[in-house]
A = this chain, B = another copy of it.
């Protein structure tokens, strides 16, 4: 997954500085096919270059999200997860009762995306996000208990 270079070039073109820390962090999330927590990125970066500070990890991940090169999602697990924009698009359905996570197809929100753009001029980040609610089992439990 050599998408690191794409991201790095994009940032350079936009006038940002490419520091070793940024390159390492971009490489870390580009090489993971899954989501990563800030701590996981930190551990991987430390392996190669000890001395990078955890605050830099957080700052850089947030910077990449702001630049549209990474996604952030809070599934309510206590730690936020990050992924590259290459991470296949999908929605996480998180049950607020039991914590179960269902992965849903992002096609579901294709229509919503178009409407938000047309009615509000808002380009929503819907490639990778979390929705809270009740899973089937917990709905049934709620109904029987009233």
Contact = CB atoms under 8 A, between A and B. Distances in A.
Contacts of A125: 96, 131-134
A109 B112 contact: yes
B122 A134 contact: yes
Number of copies: 2
A66 to B, nearest CB: 6
- Looking at chain A's contact residues, is the secondary structure mostly helix, strand, loop, or mixed? mixed
Interface residues of A, number: 38
B119 A108 contact: yes
Given A122-B135, A124-B132, A129-B131, 8 more contacts: A93-B116, A96-B125, A102-B122, A108-B112, A122-B134, A123-B134, A124-B131, A129-B132
